[in-house]
Structure formats: C-alpha cells, structure tokens
Structure 1
Amino acid sequence: MFAALGRFVTRFRWYVIGAWVLLAVIVGATAPALESTQDNSEFLPDHYESIQALQLQEDKFSDAFSPGAILVIEREDGGTLTADDQAAVAGLAQELAPTLGKKTFQQVVVAQNEVGEPNLSEDGTVMFAVIPLADGATGYDAAAFDDAEKLRDELGELTEGSDLEVRATGAVPQGLDSQESGEDTLLIVAIATVVLIVGLLALIFRSVLICLLPIVVVGLVSSIATGAIAWANDIFGLKADASVQQILVVVLYGVGTDYILFFLFRHRERMRQGAAVKDSVVYSLDRAGEAIASAGGAVIVAFMALILSSLSIFRAIGPALAIAVFVTLLAALTLVPAVVSLLGKALFWPSKSWQKEPKHGTFVKLGNTVGRRPGLTALVSGGAMTILAIFALSFNPSFDFNSSLPEGVESTEAMKTFQEHFSAGAAEPVPVLVDAEGADVTPTQLEEFKAALGDAKGVDQVTGPLPSSDGTAYQYYLTLADDPVSDAAQDNVDGPIRDAAHAAAPEGTEAYVGGTPGIFADMSAAMARDYKVVFPVAAAVILLILALLLRSLVAPWFLMAAVGLGFAATLGLTVIAFQFIGGESGLIFMLPIYIYLFVTALGTDYNILMIARLREEAREGRDPHSAAAQAVTHAGPTIAAAGVILAGTFASLMLGGNTLIVSMGFALAVGILIVSFVMSMFFTPALTSLLGHAAWWPGHGDEKRDEEPEKELSPTA
C-alpha cells in the first residue's frame, strides 16, 4: 500500500504540492480564529457541586455581587494613608466610573468597615476598592481583557502627579496578565523551536534545504490544522485551555520533524546504496510508511481518548492535538515525499558526506552492546526507570494557577500586597447557596446555618444570608483564611466547609459551596475519575494497533509496559526536580495528563520505529541478538535525532517564565529523552532480543520472507 502511495506522489508530485498549498490558502481564508478560555468553571460538567452553585446563583441572584477587579491603593512613599488620601480615593472612584468598560465593570466600590469608614489595613498603609462585574459579563473574554487594559490606562492618567499608587488585580486583571504572558511564551517558544530545529538538522544533515523543510512543511500544515481545530471547536462547542496555542506549536514542529526524520533517514540510507531518487522515495515510503502511519495512529488514539474525560479542557485539547497530528501525518506521507522527489539530490546540498555510510559509529558500538548483553542492558535501563518511577508516588497535585504568573506583573504584585495587609480570602469571597424550594425555613435555622459555616476550618468571616427575590433561595459569602486559589483553600472547601454546609443545611433544603476553590475541588475529583477511565481505554486501543502492526500478541504487552515505565519515570524525575530539589509544595494537577499525552504517545512512536526495524532485520534471516544489534545501529540515529529535537522543542517551553509552563516543559523534555534514549534505544530491543522468536507469537512476523529479489539499483536520478 505504501509503495503504491510512493509511486503516486512521485509521479504527481506537482499536483500533490499544489493541492496542499491550495488547501492551506482556503482554510486560512475561511476558518474562524482559534479561541481559548480561562474560565475554569467552563471545564466542568453540570453535576458537580460548584457548577450547581453557580447555576443556582445565576437563576436566583442574577444581580449578585461578583468581583471583577480589585484596586490596591498605597502611597508612593509607603507611608500611612492620610484623610486627604482617603478622600482622594473616593474622588478617584467617582472620576473612574464614567470611563469603565460597561460591558465588563460596574461602579467602583470602596471597601468599608462595620461603621462605614474606608477599610484600611492595620498599619494604615493600604486600602482597597472592588469593581464588580457587570450583568452578563464573564470576565474571561477578549472584551473583558480589553476593558482591564483600559482600566489600567485610566488609573495611570488619574493618579499622575498625585502621591497615590493604584494597582489592579483580581480575576480580570489576572486573566489579562495571564493572556499577555501566554502570548510572550508563544512567541518565545515558536522562535526557540524553529532555531533549535534548524540548528540540530544542520548538525545532522549539513544541508540547507533539509533545515528549511520542516519549517516550510509544518508552517503549511499549521494553518490547515489550526483552522480545522477552530471549526471542530465551533461545531462541537468545545472550550480550549489558554495554553493550547503554545502546545500546538510544539506538537506540530516536534511531531512533524519526527515523522520527516523517520522518512529522511531511510531515504538517505537507500540513496547511499545507489538508488535513483524516485526509486528511493518509493522504497523508503514502503519501508518507513507503515511505522510512521502506525506511530501516528497510536498518537491520535491516545489524544482522542481524552474525549472520555469529564473535563472539557481535555475533551477540547485531545481532539485538537489529534487533528494536528492527523494533518501532520498526511503531510509526512504525501507532501514530504513529493517535495523530496522534486528536489532530488539537491536536497542534501551542499553536503557530500551523506553518500558515505559510517563504518564505526557510536550506534554501531551501542548496537553491538545490546546484541551481546541484552540481559544486562534490560536490567540497567529498566532498573534506572524503576528507581525514578518510585518518586512518582510523591506527586502532589496543585491547583494554584495564579502561582504560574510571572514575577513582577502588576496583578501578582498587587495581590501580594493585598494578602499581606488583609485577610487572604477577602480577594474573592466564596458563595454558599441554600436551595429552599418547597421548604419552610425560619430565621433561626438560617442563623444556625451561618454559625455552622463560621465554625468550619479555614473560614474567617461569614456574611448573609441574602434572600432571593422569590424567597426560595439564600446566599452567604465566606471570607476564607487562605487565598481562594491556594491548595489550602481548596482542601478546606472540599472537606470541612462542605461537610459543615451539608450537615447544617435546614431540613428540606440543599446547600452548595461554590467559588473558585469549589471549582478546583471538583476538578480534582474529575481528574481522579479520568485517570481510571482515559488511561486504560487509550492503552487498550494502542495495544490493538500494536498487535495489528506486529501480528503479535506478546510484543504489544511488553512494549506498553515499557511505555508505562517511561511515564512513571518521567513523573518521578519531575517530582525530584521541582518538589524535592526546587522546594515546590506541588505540581500543576494537569501534568500527569500532559505527560501521558506526549511521553506515552510519542514514546510509543519510538518503540514502533525500533521494533519495526528489528522485525525487518529478523526477516533478513538474522538471529534475535544480531537483529537487535542491527536495529539499534540503523534506527538508533533516527530515534536519537528525533528525540533530541522533540525534547528540545519541549524544553523551549521553559523559556516563557510561567512556572506552569516551565514545569510542563521540563517534564516533557526529560520524558522524551527517557523514552528515546533509555526505553527505545536499550530497554525495548534488549527485551525483544531476550524473548527471541516468542516475542512474535502467534504471527511470527520475524520469520524470513520468500520475496522476489530486489531490482538492481540504478544510480541515476
């Protein structure tokens, strides 16, 4: 099949290239923009308590106070705020009101204490004002961020020449800073990725055109994939996380370069044997095409398994990445061979060294080592991954998204000042809703409920109850002792606060605790459920793909076990680096899913490439030990080059300054290095060599085939 595809794309190469260019133009001109959201509540299904609280609040308290921004006010000299300063703040609030973006913000509310005086910190140096969200505003869309930017500009103009410093923080300004940080990260990642790919390809091939090939091809593929993802999100109502753009860049360039390398190494090897360019393209696609297609299929399946997730963040990103890989896979099997056949030997210009087969290289020595001592190789490589995997048990998930903002941005610095001088939970009171539909609730019961909430661990203050207009619901607000986005707040809401609310709810009523910590608590529960569903389903389908590719019921099991060990080793090494050495209290809760997405899926890629080459060598009549040695010798350089490039692209994420992205970049980079250089290079071929003929039962795909002799190679292009 792949030989026929090779003959087609070489014969009609101009049409193939033209079709891809035309498709990119059409998609680029007609597809909607790829948008993302930072509203965490949009990621959860309706049956979770935090979402039920939000729905009840919207139904019964549509005019409820919802803070959109917090203004933190200080003197520039750090001194005590005088009566004149406090009056100036009140005047500032009045001047600011007409200029606020009415789509997002209402009037400025200067916080007051119990007797109606401005709410000053104990040392008298800081006061704050709150700007509620306007009716119908989410605070997470592009218009909200535009309004937040205008708010900061207006504050700068109104305070110019005064002694006051006013900084904006809270949900909308933090979202704005997060978006700008993400845009900066995206630019840094894109530049670093392109520079890295060009640099490494220059070292490997010493060819100008090969250096440019992935950049041009992936650039073309990117516009098509991004448009297709945007269409899919619109059609199925999916909500993409704000980090999806950065991840897409890495996936498209990393995976795209991998598949191009899988083909180019085989093409160069065949060209060295004297084949004509077109014949070499057909032969290389015939030999590498199955491995590339199977590897891509495994990655797509792994990504698509996320549609089973209960969190829409993963239901969106799974298909998005699957679409990206699918388009990249099609390009690797059609566009790349067409371009290579068109360029001919000029592809390798100006290098001439590609014509010489290295006789005594590093991979020859490594291959001989694996072939001679497979038992020791498997023990050392498997033992190293097992030791690292033990530390994965210490993984502590964190939901503190604000900690991922870079140091020095306005919202981060203002929030630090606020929390140093006021109750940490005052930044975002947590709503508690009581649904009293059909119940006869007395004032005494409502006060008893309030008292029970106040006695719960982590609660500083309770305000309310506020009855709904129809008297069928009541709303309380909790001021927590901890930052609402912190892990401590999440633990308290998920445990003692919800326990107290449920137990003390008046008879016939239902109590719901929502807010940001409630959303995070429910996301944690959803993640625990996803681990039990998504991982096994993906593993089962990948097992099936491997079984069909290898015609074996034995090899898929130890290949998947090797990939699982690589996953655990990656998580363990990340825990060592950030929790044990870096002193972090935890790692972002999404990290295991992302390691699964890339390390497990792409690790399967490298395993497939190695095992396919090992089977090919066995079919040439070599014994299991010699086949393993030859597989490492010939497939090793491809896997090493692909692994270094892909790990480097993931490592570029660490340049963004966002701690969430930094930890993710580290984990994915070291994970790719583990699965390429430890698992695929040593552990997999060593295990296969040890099992020998039994590894291919019952299909025995390693047996030598009775094939027609190959046609004599023609040296002409």
Structure 2
Amino acid sequence: MGAGQTTGKWRAVPWAVLALWIGVLAIVAPFAAKLGDVQRDRPTDYLPVSADSTQVAKIQEQLPGGETTQLVLVYHRDGGLTAADREKAGEQVARIAGEHALAGTPRGVPSRDGTTLMYPVATNEPGADEDERDAFVEEVRDVARGAGGLSVQVGGPSALTTDAAKVYDSLGGPLLYTTVAVVAVLLILIYRSPVLWLVPLAVAGIADYLSMGVAYGLNQAFGTSVSGQSAGIMTILVFGAGTDYALLLVSRYREELRRVERPYDAMRAALRGCGPAVLASSGTVAAGLLCLLAADLNSNRGMGPLGTVGVLCALVAMLTLLPAVLVLLGRRVFWPLVPAYGSTPKARRSLFAAMGGSAGQRPVTVLASGAALLGALALGALALPGSLKQENSFVDKPESVAALQTLARAYPERSSQPIDVITPADRADETLTAIRGTDGVDSARKGRTGNGWTEISVIAEAAPESAGETRTIEELRDRLYGSWVGGPSAQQIDLEKSNARDTLVVVPLVLGSVLLVLIALLRSLVAPLILTAAVVAVWGAALGLGGLVFGPLFGFEGTDPGLGLLSFVFLVALGVDYGIFLMHRMREEALRGAEPVTAALTALRTTGGVIASAGLVLAATFAVLTNMGLVAVVELGFVIAVGVLLDTFLVRTYLVTSASVALGRTVWWPGRLSRAPEQAQSREREPAGA
C-alpha cells in the first residue's frame, strides 16, 4: 500500500518535510563547500593555546617574514661521499638559494664517517600560508635529486608537516567514498532488498553534507578549529550513528506495518516506539562529545563540537527526512520482503533467543565469565608501545621520515632538529649566554628580531625526541624566565602533558553526563550504573587488544598520547547506545507486566538483530580509519571498531542481559518497576516512550 492511502490533512506532511529539506540544503550548500578552506593541520593547530610551543609558533608568525619554513637536505652515499657528490650538493643548494629568499646562507655539515652531508635550509618566503609552504617543499624536492648511488632526501620540521598534510587530505574524499561503500555493502546484506538500502544511505549522505555546512558556520561564528582528523571523525559519526538510528527505525517501522494498515500511521507508531531511545542515544553521544570542550588540547576541544554536529545532523535527518521518504515510497520499498498488513513474520530460530537462554539459565556464571574475559583482555594495555615519536607517526615511511632516520644514524652525537627559543629583544644577548651555558646544548645562534622579540635557534647534543633532548628542553624552560621554548620536540612534550591533563578532566565529565542521561531515560540508578560499568570495561578490553597487536602485528613503534582519552569518549558515548536500545525495550516489556526474566529475554530477542546490525555498521565505519596513513588515526579506528564489536556481541548480549536477569526488579531501583508486581501494574499503562 502506497502513500495514497494516507488520508486527510496528514497526506501533505511527508511532502512538506521533503520540501523543507530541499530548502535547507539550498541554504547550506555554499557553506558546506567551504569547509575544506578552513581546515588546518599544522602541529600548532593540535596543541593547547597555553603551551610554550604554541606561543613560540604564534610569535614566529609576527616576526619579519612570518612563520619560518625549516628544511634539511640530506646527501648520503653508503661507501662515503665523493668530491662529485659534494659538488653536486653545493650546486643544488645554490640553485635553491637563487630561486628563493633563504634566511641566511646554507652551510653544509658533514658527518664524521664521511657518508652524509646535511644542509639546513630556512626561509620565511611562504609565511604561514600552508599551500605556499607545501609548494616550497615540493619545489626543493624537485631540485634535490640524486643519481649514481647518491641519495638525496628532504626532511626537517616543515617537510614532516607537508607529508602529514598529504595524509590528512586523504581523510576527505577517499575516507568518504570508502565509508559509503562499506555502509552500502552492509545495508544490502542486512535488508536483502535492491532498493531499501539506498534510502538510509542517501539520507546519511545528505546529513553529512548538512554537517559540513554547520561545521563551517561554527568555525566562522565561534572560531571552532577544524582539522583533518576532526572533519574525518565527523563524517564517520554521521554515517555510523546515522545508519544505526535508521536500522532501529526501519526495524520498528517494518514491525508496525504488519499491525497498522496505513504507512503514515505505522511510521507514527514506529517513531513513538523507538523515538525516545534514539533521542536518548544521540543525546548521550552529544553530551559525551561536548565534554571535550573542557580539554586544553586544541585538537581534542575542536573534535567535540564537530562530532556533536555530526551526530545531531544524523539524528535530525533520520527522524524527519528518512520517515518522510519511507512513507512516500510505501510498503514497496521493502520488496521483495514486503511486510503485508495483518501478516505474521516467518518464525525462525533466533540466535539471540538461544544466547539469551544461556544467560537466563546461568546468569551469574555468564556474568562472571564475561567479566573475567574483559579483565584479561584489558591487561594487554600494559603492552602498549611507548609514546609515539614524529618519525614513527606514519604508516608508510615518507621522505621526511627517511631523512630523519638517515640523520640519526649519521650524526649520533648531535641533534638535527632545532629547538626554537623566543625571548624579549632587549634580553637577547643575556638569553643567548644562558642557553649556551645549559647542559645538553650543542650550539645556539640568534635569528630574526621584530615586534620586541628575538628568535634563537638551539641545537641539542641528544637525538630528537630522546630523553636527553627532553631534559635539555625542560632545563631551558626552567632557566629562561620570560622566554618561550618551542619547536617540534617541544611540541611533542606539550602534547603529552596536555593529553594527561585532559584525561583527568574530561573522563569524569563524560561519565557524569552519560549517567545523567541514562538516569533520566531509564528512571533508575542501578541500570545506568550497569551500562556505564559495562562500556568502561569494554574500553579497557579494546585498549588491551590494541596493546597485543599494535607492536607485534602492525609494527607500530609508539602509541598516540591521545588514544586513551579519545577512544574512551567515543566508546563510552557510542557504546551506551546499544545499552539504551536494549534497556529501553526491556523497560517497555516490564511496563506491560512482564516478569524481569521474561522482559530481559524478550528485549534481547526483539532488539538483538538490529543491535547486531547497528554494531557491525558502526564498527565497519570506524574500521575504515585503519586504512589511513597516520598511525594515530589507525590506532583510534582499531580500538573503537574492536570495542564496538565487543560491546555488541558480548556485553549487550550476555553481560547486560545476565546482570538484568540476576538482579531482577532491583535493576530498576528506585523506580516504580523495582516494586512488587501488583504495585507496578496498578498504575495506568504508560506509553512506550515513558
């Protein structure tokens, strides 16, 4: 039966919703197209505003010529450089100096073993413009080419930034296309329909476009930072969370179509039934993500609003546009498995009924076994590699990293990466003397002066990002009162400190906000505590699995400092989704008078399939991140994907159900459902969304 059977004044509602969305997209389109223009992926765009290294970068932009582009040309021959090699190196550097305004005359520094010659090159020509910086790096690489066994590599801080920007660019189009393809395949398998899968996928695409426009508006209105990482995560959330909401709605809509004659009325019933759960689910995710606004790290703080925008745009689209399109298409959208009015679905042996049966018979045993398994997996977190260094941050080694490694082997006695010190101009000489007298400093020289500041470039004796260089940076910061110490290695130190601080602040906020939403929805204290404890356990187990595979299987030599916090926020906020779907249905059954065991098993039997489907889709969308080129992004995608699968097939199915069966009515304490049956049933029947 099609949309023509929707009678009376309600017939025009789906068309009005469709027209409204067309108008919204027409308004949003010019802004969505500009999101890429405001995306920034410099190291300082990820650092906290208050960090020393951030202040250094800001002041450097104000010095004559703006931000400095720092490169190192590395000439290497295994058997030792020849006179012709050194001559060629000099010619190439002279050509670069002739084509670009360099800061000083580059001087070659030979290695002690005679195999390597490095030329530090700096310019203020591109300034702070990222496109010009990248163009300069590529032009230098075009000039610097080896031949006949001579290896020429272009490295340095700016080359690293350029290579990272290339990877972040892949978080745009390729990430979107891969995500769409993965979701499409899964929806085809889930719905077994040649048409139905297109509807939620198209609506998710529209929601993603809307989120891009809103994100650009936030950037222009409030200065919200937009990075490649946050924009990519926003897209993942739109398709992952949006498809989850669509699966829940379509499943309930199909169920109602068998009981209700007209599609419009069936959709109203479906929205009444699952709407509160979807709203609570999105509210939980949004509340958890917004807690990132309390973070000090710029990248964490910017991800909160963008992730929230993605989830809310997905919510609005799936609760307005998707129902309108489904009603207009009528029952035929489910072809060939059309749910006829008055029909009964074919009885099949349910996997989730069987799983629920074991949980119902031996709830304490199942609960204890599952908890022990999660605890054992969590121990793997002890095997996580140490902090991720810049040279280990790429999945595939780019030229800038190869240059770093060559320098580390050829110059073990000194650093090849400068430490930048910004000091008041009237104290420059005094500061320079103090720097040269600091333990661990190999050399130091004054740079540019302007706007009351002087830049001093410092070379440490220890290798970049080593314990020795870290001690040197910390000592410089202690000794140089009124000065700022920055540079790539200092940025990594500030990154780790800020992540540690953010974890202490954000984690309690996330737990508190999630608990409040769950208490408001379930009207209980015990059930929310169970769900929260479950997702925290899942996070620990997923992180432990990461520790077991990152080094031995993936070959990663470090762990991103922000992995723990970001994976916690996403797994807690997203993982609670499935608990909400299950517990909300359990509460519905209890309100209808079902006994605790019956309510729990019925909820699992009726929602198990859709939760499993939703979990697979969400895990698959985050798994797309494991195909990206940055180790930090791969690690985050892996932990979240594995955590969602554990949550879907172990925690929701067995542990939450077992806990609910074991506790009985206590799970709803102190709400009315925790009381005796006659007391609970004496009240008027609440609607499904109560």
Question: How high is the TM-score relative to the length of structure 2?
Answer: 0.88
Q: 1:379 matched to which residue of 2? A: 368
Q: 1:315 matched to which residue of 2? A: 301
Picking from 664, 668, 688, the partner of 2:640 is 668
SS at structure 2 position matched to 1:635: helix
* 8 Å Cα contact 1:452/1:500 also seen in 2: yes
Q: 1:530 matched to which residue of 2? A: 502
Question: Residues 606-645 of structure 1: matches in 2 within 5 Å?
Answer: 606-645=578-617
**C-alpha distance 187-57 of structure 1, shift in aligned 2 (>3 A):** closer
Check if 1:132 corresponds to 2:122: yes
Check if 1:706 corresponds to 2:684: yes
SS at structure 2 position matched to 1:452: coil
State the distance in 2 between where 1:708 and 1:430 align. 66
Picking from 226, 236, 259, the partner of 2:222 is 236
Check if 1:681 corresponds to 2:683: no
Picking from 610, 630, 640, the partner of 1:658 is 630
Task: Give the share of equivalent positions with the same residue, in percent.
Answer: 28
Picking from 282, 292, 303, the partner of 1:296 is 282
State the distance in 2 between where 1:656 and 1:239 align. 21
State the distance in 2 between where 1:350 and 1:424 align. 72
Q: 2:53 matched to which residue of 1? A: 50
* 8 Å Cα contact 1:551/1:701 also seen in 2: no
* 8 Å Cα contact 1:10/1:337 also seen in 2: no
**C-alpha distance 433-246 of structure 1, shift in aligned 2 (>3 A):** closer
Q: 2:460 matched to which residue of 1? A: 479
Question: Residues 455-494 of structure 1: matches in 2 within 5 Å?
Answer: 461-464=442-445, 475=456, 477-483=458-464, 486=465, 488=466, 491-494=467-470
**C-alpha distance 644-424 of structure 1, shift in aligned 2 (>3 A):** farther
**C-alpha distance 635-405 of structure 1, shift in aligned 2 (>3 A):** same
SS at structure 1 position matched to 2:75: strand
State the distance in 1 between where 2:25 and 2:451 align. 56
* 8 Å Cα contact 2:247/2:614 also seen in 1: yes
Q: 2:354 matched to which residue of 1? A: 365
Choose 685-694 or 606-615, whichever is displaced more. Answer: 685-694
Picking from 595, 599, 603, the partner of 2:575 is 603
SS at structure 2 position matched to 1:398: coil
Picking from 38, 41, 44, the partner of 2:44 is 41
For residue 149 of structure 1, report the CA deviation from its aligned partner: 2.8
Choose 66-75 or 532-541, whichever is displaced more. Answer: 66-75
State the distance in 1 between where 2:532 and 2:664 align. 18
* 8 Å Cα contact 1:214/1:253 also seen in 2: no
5+ residue gaps, structure 1:
1-6, 113-118, 711-717
**C-alpha distance 27-252 of structure 1, shift in aligned 2 (>3 A):** same
* 8 Å Cα contact 1:259/1:332 also seen in 2: yes
For residue 449 of structure 1, report the CA deviation from its aligned partner: 5.2
Per-residue CA deviation, residues 337-365 of structure 1 (Å, 9 max, x unaligned), is 11111111111113358962433221121
Picking from 387, 406, 412, the partner of 1:398 is 387
State the distance in 2 between where 1:171 and 1:9 align. 62
State the distance in 2 between where 1:583 and 1:21 align. 48
SS at structure 1 position matched to 2:509: helix
Picking from 302, 326, 332, the partner of 1:346 is 332
Equivalent AA in structure 1 for residue 19 of structure 2: G
Check if 1:326 corresponds to 2:304: no
Per-residue CA deviation, residues 397-455 of structure 1 (Å, 9 max, x unaligned), is 52424423243533233333333223486432113455596x8x997x9656523333x
**C-alpha distance 90-584 of structure 1, shift in aligned 2 (>3 A):** closer
Picking from 488, 496, 502, the partner of 1:516 is 488
Question: Residues 432-581 of structure 1: matches in 2 within 5 Å?
Answer: 432-433=421-422, 447=433, 450-454=436-440, 461-464=442-445, 475=456, 477-483=458-464, 486=465, 488=466, 491-494=467-470, 496-501=471-476, 509-510=481-482, 512-579=484-551
**C-alpha distance 164-391 of structure 1, shift in aligned 2 (>3 A):** closer
For residue 329 of structure 1, report the CA deviation from its aligned partner: 0.5
* 8 Å Cα contact 2:172/2:228 also seen in 1: no
State the distance in 1 between where 2:152 and 2:423 align. 37
Picking from 180, 184, 187, the partner of 1:194 is 180
Equivalent AA in structure 2 for residue 377 of structure 1: V
Check if 1:91 corresponds to 2:106: no
Q: 2:4 matched to which residue of 1? A: none
SS at structure 1 position matched to 2:330: helix
For residue 529 of structure 1, report the CA deviation from its aligned partner: 1.6
Question: How high is the TM-score relative to the length of structure 1?
Answer: 0.85
* 8 Å Cα contact 1:67/1:130 also seen in 2: no
Picking from 194, 202, 205, the partner of 1:216 is 202
Choose 664-673 or 473-482, whichever is displaced more. Answer: 473-482
Q: 1:715 matched to which residue of 2? A: none
SS at structure 2 position matched to 1:587: coil
* 8 Å Cα contact 1:453/1:501 also seen in 2: no
SS at structure 2 position matched to 1:621: coil
Per-residue CA deviation, residues 225-252 of structure 1 (Å, 9 max, x unaligned), is 0111112122222323332233223211
* 8 Å Cα contact 2:386/2:558 also seen in 1: yes
Check if 1:81 corresponds to 2:84: no
For residue 366 of structure 1, report the CA deviation from its aligned partner: 1.4
Check if 1:21 corresponds to 2:22: yes
**C-alpha distance 637-8 of structure 1, shift in aligned 2 (>3 A):** farther
State the distance in 2 between where 1:676 and 1:186 align. 28
State the distance in 1 between where 2:70 and 2:9 align. 59
Picking from 132, 152, 157, the partner of 1:143 is 132
Question: Residues 167-182 of structure 1: matches in 2 within 5 Å?
Answer: 167-182=153-168
State the distance in 2 between where 1:382 and 1:181 align. 39
State the distance in 2 between where 1:708 and 1:442 align. 78
Check if 1:122 corresponds to 2:112: yes
State the distance in 1 between where 2:213 and 2:453 align. 47
Per-residue CA deviation, residues 362-397 of structure 1 (Å, 9 max, x unaligned), is 112112222222222221222222222233355555
SS at structure 2 position matched to 1:202: helix
Q: 1:115 matched to which residue of 2? A: none
State the distance in 2 between where 1:498 and 1:98 align. 35
For residue 264 of structure 1, report the CA deviation from its aligned partner: 1.1
Question: Residues 100-111 of structure 1: matches in 2 within 5 Å?
Answer: 100=100, 106=102, 109-111=105-107
Equivalent AA in structure 2 for residue 91 of structure 1: E
SS at structure 2 position matched to 1:179: helix
5+ residue gaps, structure 2:
1-7, 675-679
SS at structure 2 position matched to 1:611: helix
* 8 Å Cα contact 2:53/2:491 also seen in 1: yes
Equivalent AA in structure 1 for residue 598 of structure 2: S
* 8 Å Cα contact 1:418/1:424 also seen in 2: no
SS at structure 1 position matched to 2:420: strand
For residue 544 of structure 1, report the CA deviation from its aligned partner: 1.3
* 8 Å Cα contact 1:68/1:171 also seen in 2: yes
Equivalent AA in structure 1 for residue 18 of structure 2: I
SS at structure 1 position matched to 2:128: coil
State the distance in 1 between where 2:557 and 2:524 align. 44
What is the number of equivalent residue pairs in this alignment?
670
State the distance in 2 between where 1:58 and 1:29 align. 31
* 8 Å Cα contact 1:108/1:130 also seen in 2: no
For residue 28 of structure 1, report the CA deviation from its aligned partner: 1.4
For residue 320 of structure 1, report the CA deviation from its aligned partner: 0.4
Q: 1:252 matched to which residue of 2? A: 238
Q: 1:262 matched to which residue of 2? A: 248
**C-alpha distance 362-282 of structure 1, shift in aligned 2 (>3 A):** same
State the distance in 2 between where 1:684 and 1:30 align. 44
State the distance in 1 between where 2:437 and 2:547 align. 41
Equivalent AA in structure 2 for residue 302 of structure 1: G
* 8 Å Cα contact 1:493/1:521 also seen in 2: no
State the distance in 2 between where 1:543 and 1:616 align. 20
Choose 403-412 or 618-627, whichever is displaced more. Answer: 403-412
For residue 518 of structure 1, report the CA deviation from its aligned partner: 1.6
Q: 2:70 matched to which residue of 1? A: 68
**C-alpha distance 450-382 of structure 1, shift in aligned 2 (>3 A):** same
* 8 Å Cα contact 2:61/2:127 also seen in 1: no
CA RMSD of aligned residues (A): 3.3
